[in-house]
Structure formats: structure tokens, C-alpha cells
Chain A
């Protein structure tokens, strides 16, 4: 199967700082990637759809100025949590859509953000 890699897997930062999480499709090109947020013992909530070469589409209730998404190439999307606060602490998971044969989504390993 295809491989999607996220980095870092764990990050701890101080309140007020910004954190960048990378999502890479290692062996395929992904024009579309998705960012999810997962709270402890809960399901995945779609935050935004990242489209290569264009602006991300955010789900209702997600602050686009807080969660900056950049999809600058066909294999890389980044999520930057700006001015992070403790309530932003969560598990962030990306997925990348492999167009052929059927548009299957492949998920990264997730990134656990802890804001002190």
C-alpha cells in the first residue's frame, strides 16, 4: 500500500508559540490531502481539505487563521498551529488521496501536540 508520513510524531511547545506539522506522501502524488483532529477516545473530526496549489477548504468552526494549511507540492502538506494554546493540544492526523485506481485515502501516523 501507499505510504504517508507525518512529522513530528510528538511535539511539546509553550503556549503562544507556533508549531508546524508535515504530511508527506512518500510514493505517490496527492493533489488532495485532509487534516483531521482527534481528541482522546473520540473520533476523527475533519478540519480542512488541502488542495495542491490552491487555498485550503476549512470545515465549519475551524479557524483558518489559527490552523494554517499549505499544500505547496504534490507530496507535501503542512499544518501550522499558530499561537498555540493548551486547548489546541490534540492528535492531528493527515490523509492523502491517491487518485488511481480509486482515490483511496492513506493515513499518516499522526502527530501528538501538547501545548504547555
Chain B
């Protein structure tokens, strides 16, 4: 069984500050890890994903995440927050590279608030 824990249901940062959204996972097999962003009343957009290879993954909109097997973590970061980054962020795990023959297991989500 797989599970995802996102620490902090709400994270507030100032515009221009570092964004750090935490994600820890549990998986009995090598995991494939994903970060998605959701804007109000919209579907999910893939930010980045880790499948194999380099553990530091770069995504869209300046986001990146690092897979740390020893810590079972896949934290999402962005050096400088922008107002447009305000949204809900979901970490997800799968045992399949693209996201699952059986879908994704999502964390509860972190609401990112950007203070002007």
C-alpha cells in the first residue's frame, strides 16, 4: 500500500520568498512521485515528476523537487514566490511511471498563500 503525507495544510510566504512544501511518502516498491497544482475550480496540472535517474527534478514555473530515498521525502521548492503561485498543491505517489495502472494516491494537499 502507498500513502502520502503533506505537512501543513496551509503555507504562507511573502512574495519573493522561498517556497517549501513538504511531502513524505510510504511505498513498498520503488515509488514514482508527482507534484500537481490546482487552481480554484480547475483540474490538476502536473508540475513535475520523479521516475528514475536524477533525484533533483525541475518542473514548470520555476519549481523543483528532490527525491530523498533515505528520508522518504519529495519536497517541492521554488526560490522566489510569485503571486500567481497561490494555489493548492498535491503530492502523489504511484507504482507506475506515468501515474498508475490504478491511478494515483494523493496527499491531502497544501494551500499556498502568497503575501504581498
Contacts and interface: CB of A to CB of B under 8 A. Distances in A.
Interface of A: 1, 4, 6, 9, 32, 34, 36, 41-44, 46, 49, 91, 93, 95, 97-98, 102-105, 107-110, 112
Contact of B99 (A1, A105, A108, A110): A105
Interface residue SS majority, chain A: strand
B109 A42 contact: yes
Contacts of A103: 96-101
Given A43-B109, A110-B42, A104 B98 contact: yes
B41 interface: yes
A1 B102 CA distance: 21
A95 B97 contact: no
Contacts of A34: 100, 103
B90 A44 contact: yes
